[in-house]
Amino acid sequence: MARPSRRKFLGAAAACAAAPLGLPGKQAAGSTEDNSSIGKTPHTRFAVNIEMWFTKLPFLKRIEAAAALGFPAVEFWPLQGKDLGAIAEKTRELKIEVAQFTAWGFKPGLNNPKNHKAFVEAVEASCKAAKKLRCGLMTVVGGDDQPGMTQGQMHANIIAGLKLAAPIAESHGVVMILEPMNIRVDHKGHSLYGSPPAIRICEEVDSPSVKINWDLYHMQITEGDLCGRMKDGWKHIGYLQLADHPGRHEPGTGEIHYNRVLKAAHDLGYRGLVGLECRPRDGELQAARRVAAADVW
């Protein structure tokens, strides 16, 4: 899409006031403008991260708010403290998917073998949760740096842990998506960052149930060359997430030309959901409009 047209689109979107979002089917009280199709984008299917969007609403209302804007899916972080039965019922009622959730977070580290037994147990429980949620993906995190261990040792431990859990995930038809972070801005002291080591880990584990949660925000900060790196690691990509940089807000607020990046993913053959793990800068309605603008090419 030509740059002037994109600017015109975003300028028009910016002129629209972002009304408070309870259930945002209408822009404002008394308005005839229908916003229920904003999330029904032509090329890319987006999943709203409801840990970062609609945070003033109760959790189930966040799912309703995402569906009211026309988004086909949501994603969230840990299972703990969430009513999975209610989430499953709500998503079924609204005909909206759960794209993925976090099965294993930063601590305790997967990169330490003393935590592998707990990791395997968590994967087993998360596979059962995934079935209830009708979800086929779950994020696992490598862990922060372990005192006295080299990066090579920590990565070897991640490989060992994933090899233990992979047969469980395979038997349930679930894919564990390993997420590299960035250590410059958000996760200083994390043991796994950038695509090359994540690709090596996937190759070593050699399981269809171990892929990469390819977060384009983290990749931009760590290594750049988003389209080239994505092509290099294509066969190991299990899921895409995004945010713009700097700020970790929605596309159109930073330096990443997401129209180009999303088209590159589409051209590679990616048809999975793309997680919106970003903080709406000027309200959720404006963020949804900017996301829709990023899918125009």
Question: ω into residue 108 within 30 of 0, thus cis?
Answer: yes
**Which domains can be identified in the chain, with CATH numbers?**
32-99 (no CATH), 100-230 (3.20.20.150)
**pLDDT tens, N- to C-terminus, the chain (297 residues):** 444 444 443 444 344 334 444 556 554 445 567 999 999 999 999 999 999 999 999 999 999 999 999 999 999 999 999 999 999 999 999 999 999 999 999 999 999 999 999 999 999 999 999 999 999 999 999 999 999 999 999 999 999 999 999 999 999 999 999 999 999 999 999 999 999 999 999 999 999 999 999 999 999 999 999 999 999 999 999 999 999 999 999 999 999 999 999 999 999 999 999 999 999 999 999 999 999 999 999
Angle of helix 59-68 relative to helix 84-94, nearest 10 degrees, comes to: 20
* pLDDT of 97: 98
* pLDDT of 25: 56
Cα-flanking dihedrals φ and ψ of residue 287, to 5°?
-60, -40
The 10 Å Cβ neighbour count of residue 194 is 17
Let me know: does 201 contact 228? Beta carbons within 8 Å: no
pTM greater than 0.85: yes
| Rounded Cα–Cα distance for residues 230 and 264 (Å) | 8
* pLDDT of 33: 77
Distances (CA, A) of 160 to 110, 154, 164, 191, 202: 9, 10, 6, 15, 11
* pLDDT of 146: 97
* pLDDT of 262: 98
Question: Would you say how long the chain is, in residues?
Answer: 297
